A = this chain, B = another copy of it.
Amino acid sequence: MKNTFGNHISVTLFGESHGPAIGVVLDGLAPGIAVNEEIIKEFLAKRRPSSDLDTARVEKDPFQIVSGVFQGKTCGTPLTILIPNEDTRSKDYTYGEARPSHADYAAHKKYHGHEDYRGGGHFSGRLTAAIVAAGGILIPALEAKGIHIGTHIYSCAQIPDRTFDEILRDGLSQSELADILLLLREKTFPVLNEDAGEKMKEKIREASQQNDSVGGITETMITGLPAGVGEPWFDSVESELSHILFSIGGVKGVEFGGGFALADMTGSSGNDALRYKEDGTVYTESNHNGGINGGITNGMPVLFRCAFKPTASIAKEQKSIDFLKKENINYKGKGRHDPAIVRRACPVIDCVAAIAVADLLTGRYGTDYLA
């Protein structure tokens, strides 16, 4: 509902880019989950601009947990994380000048001129810091239950990375997969193939030098989910995940397993053959369904990709409007921005996936599941 997501574990997001603070309320958490502020800091650091590849806006993200934690653990009541805003340069923004492909004009029509337009206000990617902080609690809790989540840059500026599909064909054990995912989460520029990563960075730098930006695609794997989670129809795992994935600014496409490429296949080539392993566990030979059948997990890794449009903010002059003066203008961005959002998006995707997964598991197994 609006700024609240989740039926069993819920997250409420608040704040504007240039207001006093942003933050998040996590409700429905089991009591007794360990809360490690150092891990939250690490998560925030991964999302932060960290090099010439990112915006020059420096965000230190000092945060404060103002409720829901007692003696280092969740106490079962709403956990609120507050992140004060600093280093804001509101003068970079002029009300009325709509930044192309941003929400400015749409927000103006929705809020009738009352919106906080500075830095995108509530629409700012800045709010994903609060989501990542929440993930810093949920992801370790999921890992303690054997559930791992990891995201890499599947492609950026048309440079492809190695894919999870290739890795799955190697027949790795679940713990080997988990290791790959943990490794990804530690990387500043999370790719499976470092050479591809270097080429991507080069392209990002090129775009930056040309006052332009590039888009990209992320790929996420979730391992360790038990079979039988999710609901047919409106609470399908795909529905829940896509709902929160499309909440993230810049996401314009989401696909599971084979996704759009699967639409080009035939039943005989696209179906996933089911098999028993010798130890009695069930697996599928391929994973075109991304670990989900009929909206419900089948025990295979859950796989999905998100298409991120190129960063809308560029320093090039563009055609736009001034909706206050009601006239066409040439707009040239002044703010500090990322030439590619896809690197910083990876931890955000991990964290929103964690929210959806924790919600589904808590609904199925009860409020104490993550304790």
Contact = CB atoms under 8 A, between A and B. Distances in A.
Interface stretch (A41-49, A54-62, A172-180, A265-273): A265-273
Contacts of A326: 276, 280
A8 interface: yes
A273 B320 contact: yes
Contact of A8 (B25, B258, B363): B363
Interface centre among A207, A215, A240, A312 (most CB of B within 10 A): A215
Given A22-B67, A363-B367, A274 B239 contact: no
A194 interface: no
Interface in A28-77: 28, 31-32, 64-71, 73-77
A262 B252 contact: yes
Nearest to A259: B253
Contacts of A115: 31, 70, 75-77
Interface stretch (A105-113, A133-141, A185-193): A105-113
Contacts of A234: 1-5, 13, 243-244, 247
Contacts of A14: 25, 27, 66-68, 77-80
A112 B29 CA distance: 13
Contacts of A143: none
A122 to B, nearest CB: 4
Contact of A270 (B68, B80, B215, B235): B215
Contact of A116 (B75, B155, B307): B75
A309 interface: yes
Nearest to A306: B263
A354 interface: no
A268 B316 contact: yes
A269 B247 CA distance: 24
A247 B314 contact: no
Contact of A274 (B98, B242, B285, B310): B98
Interface in A106-156: 106-107, 109-116, 120-123, 127, 155
A3 B27 contact: yes
A288 B101 contact: yes
A188 B352 CA distance: 40
Contacts of A4: 1, 4, 10, 12, 27, 234
Contacts of A224: none
Contact of A266 (B5, B19, B213, B276): B213
A116 B326 CA distance: 49
A212 B31 contact: no
A183 B164 CA distance: 42
Contacts of A2: 10, 27-28, 78, 231, 233-235
A251 to B, nearest CB: 7
Nearest to A213: B267
B263 A307 contact: yes
A102 B298 CA distance: 10
13 contacts: A2-B28, A4-B10, A14-B78, A15-B78, A19-B66, A67-B122, A76-B115, A103-B293, A213-B268, A252-B255, A262-B307, A262-B309, A366-B369
